[in-house]
Amino acid sequence: MTSATQSYLFNTGRGFESQNYLGCHVETDGQVSFRVWAPHAQAVGVVGTFNDWQAAPLSPVGATGIWQGLFSQVKLGDLYKFEITSATGEKQLKIDPFAQQFERKPGDAAIVVAPIAEQWHDSLWLARRKKSNPANRPINIYEVHLGSWRRHDNGDYYTYAELAEELIPYAHQMGYSHLELMPVMEHLLDASWGYQQMGYFAPTSRFGTRDEFLSFVDQCHQANLGVIVDWVPGHFIRNYDALYQYDGTPTYEYADPNQADNRRWGAWNFDLGKTQVQSFLISSALYWLNTCHLDGLRVDAVSNMLYLDYDEGREGQVNQYGDNRNLAGIAFLQELNTEIFKRHPDVLMIAEESSAFPQVTGRVDQGGLGFNYKWNMGWMHDTLDFFEMDPLYRHDHFNLLTFAFVYMFDEQFILPFSHDEVVHGKKSLMHKMPGDRYNQFANLRTMMAYMAAFPGKQLNFMGAEWGQFLEWRDWDQLEWVDLKDPLNRQMQHYTAALNQVYHANRPLWELDHESTGIVYSNTDDAASSTMGFIRQAKRKYSFVIAAFNFVPVERRQYRIGVPYPGEYELLLNTEAKAFGGTWTQLETTFTAVNRPYKGQPASFEATLPAMGALLIRPVKVKGESKK
């Protein structure tokens, strides 16, 4: 593709592989090219270790706003930046927006790297991914912050190679289907957790090189682990030597300071209506999916892109129709998802969207945003509010659980217990639970079973799998010392067992987004604070009964309605001794008889454990009973 064509596509918002043209590239003859978009600059030069940081001038490419130069003295590993001279004559050093590797913080110079030569070994994984529909597959995600999952005794980060050695087998053994990495795109401020990004094409150098990151992804796939990464197309790092006023004028951000300034997060908002910004961001998304073989992106802060007045300080902003929708942001998200699914219909595009904006996972040609998943923030908040409550009062607030049944199929949902819920004084999941230490674990086991049985895919943040007591701290590793405690070890064992049950039973995931995937057998018994429902698979006789007791009072002779008489077996009892409960002998088999109950033609009795849950499936049923 010619330089003129590349420039045209980038400027018209259709340059979706712009990183192959802009930025720094080692050419076939060994020379190194530099290209950068700075449309209002008076002059542009490149500075680096190869020229003692004295600017070597670049030339404008016609009237495209792009500047370029070709140099023979540049070597692999050299550091560089662009020197931008604004229209008023001010000079400032700026990062390369398209750099694929940066020096380690606190520096922010880009590094000259060779073209990617990764020898991938994940063809089997990618082939299976193409043949499967994620909606009909088990998805339980382990959300990880790489900088604090584990650290060395001296506080140093684990490298991508060390994480591959330890994190991958751990997640696999625990039964997770995917890792979701909090942003690995290059960023400077640790406290931002990666959500104030600088390098939209560069894995962070904290843990190693670009190629070492690619090897990490490859090894995940070889271990049958998908990789999702958080990505932030709404706003970018505040630093003046990054994207802000790149050529001395608003370049990537809005021209209106009120729209550009994101006070909520201390960042700058991208001008999503600008065609060059669209090329930049969609190229970034496709780079991670194409070049880095990621299985999906979780798009952060979608609400900030949907509403003109979402951020404090932007009140009163309206569009030409008189409402607060950000029409440019909506159009950008629709274009983003259209282009991604055109190339990768099998990936996950997940919206972290906290409002009730309609059709987030709806089809673009029907007015939707085009994501295939949305975090169910309402379910998450209501469920945590319910479980944090003293069990004595739960019967008066049962609507916190039942309200989600009203809208559970409005979108394709992921149920998230994410990092945001275990930080800034919110306490860890285990610490949120009421009662003494034993009852805290009993509540946590029950809540995890409730998530596994509820329609929707699922996500848990690291540390929750064993019930870490301290809330998450991004500057230190998880409290692995907890696992010396028997209750924490048993909780970890429970999580692995629950994940195994989840994966092995199609009713728990095959019809997650269809109303036929659930039968409401006993969801209105607030007085006893118990609940039961049936999860159904495509096959008629393939289903799982889920029964929950949300108070610490054992329910003996608890009757459970089922579709057919016959023999049933226990899949999981959250109060089993091996999980940290009190049951040393489990009821493992149940016989359903032709006794109608709660709208079902047959039923059986079971002992429902105090503050516990049962998952049960049919073994041999006698065919459909007549009411």
With b meaning 16 or more CB within 10 Å and e meaning fewer, what string describes 119-155? eeebeebeeebeeeebbebbbbbbbbbbbbbbeeeee
Q: What is the CATH number of the domain that holds 609?
A: 2.60.40.1180
499 lies in some domain: no
Confidence of residue 625 (pLDDT cuts 50, 70, 90): very low
DSSP letter at 609 equals: P
**Domain boundary residue, one of 93, 111, 129:** 111
**Residue-level pLDDT at 355:** 92
Q: How far are the Cα atoms of 142, 490, 574, 582, 590 from residue 483, in angstroms, in the given order?
A: 18, 9, 19, 20, 35
Say which residues have a Cβ less than 8 Å from residue 519's Cβ, sequence separation at least 6.
533, 534, 536, 543, 563, 600
**pLDDT value, residue 316:** 80
Give 626's pLDDT tier (boundaries 50, 70, 90): very low
CATH number for the domain spanning 105: value is 2.60.40.10
Tally of structural domains, the chain? 2
Mean pLDDT, the chain, whole residue set: 96
Q: At what angle do helices 437-453 and 377-388 cross, to 10 degrees?
A: 150
pLDDT digit string, tens, across residues 380-433:
999 999 999 999 999 999 999 999 999 999 999 999 999 999 999 999 999 999
Q: Is 68 contained in some domain?
A: yes
Residue 554 lies in a domain: yes
Q: What is the DSSP string of 262-302?
A: ETTTTEEEB-TTSHHHHHHHHHHHHHHHHTS--SEEEE--H
Across 89-93, 319-323, 622-626, which has the greatest mean pLDDT? 89-93
**What CA–CA distance (Å, rounded) separates 299 from 197?**
13
Res 567 pLDDT > 50 = yes
Helix axes 275-290, 327-343, angle to 10 degrees: 30
pLDDT at 272: 97
Whether residue 66 is contained in a domain is answered as yes
Distance CA 510, CA 406 (A): 20
**pLDDT at position 327:** 97
What is the identity of the amino acid at 167? L
From 34-48, 153-167, 232-246, 315-329, the region with the lowest mean pLDDT: 315-329
From CA 261, how far away is CA 48, in angstroms rounded?
31
* pLDDT at residue 189 tops 50: yes
pLDDT in tens, 255-264: 999 999 999 9
Q: Cite the DSSP H helix spans in 132-159.
A: 146-149
Contact 265/196 with Cβ under 8 angstroms? yes
**Catalytic residue ranges:** 300, 352
- Check whether 576 has a pLDDT greater than 60: yes
**Predicted local distance difference test score (pLDDT) of residue 485:** 97
Answer whether residue 129 is part of any domain: no
pLDDT tens digit sequence for 477-508: 999 999 999 999 999 999 999 999 999 999 99
Q: Is residue 606 part of a domain?
A: yes
- pLDDT band (50, 70, 90) for residue 118: confident
**Residue-level pLDDT at 99:** 98
pLDDT of residue 1: 76
Domain boundary residue, one of 111, 134, 151: 111
Residue 57 within a domain: yes
Q: Does 600 reside within a domain? A: yes
Residue 627: pLDDT above 80?
A: no
Residue that terminates a domain, selected from 111, 135, 158: 111
What's at 533, amino acid-wise? F
How far apart, in whole angstroms, are the C-alpha atoms of residue 451 and residue 563? 23
Q: What is the mean pLDDT of residues 150-179?
A: 97
- In this structure, how many other beta carbons lie within 10 angstroms of the beta carbon of residue 101? 22
Give residue 315's pLDDT band: very low, low, confident or very high (50, 70, 90). confident
Domain that holds residue 107: 3-111
What tokens appear for 618 in the block?
Answer: 């049919």
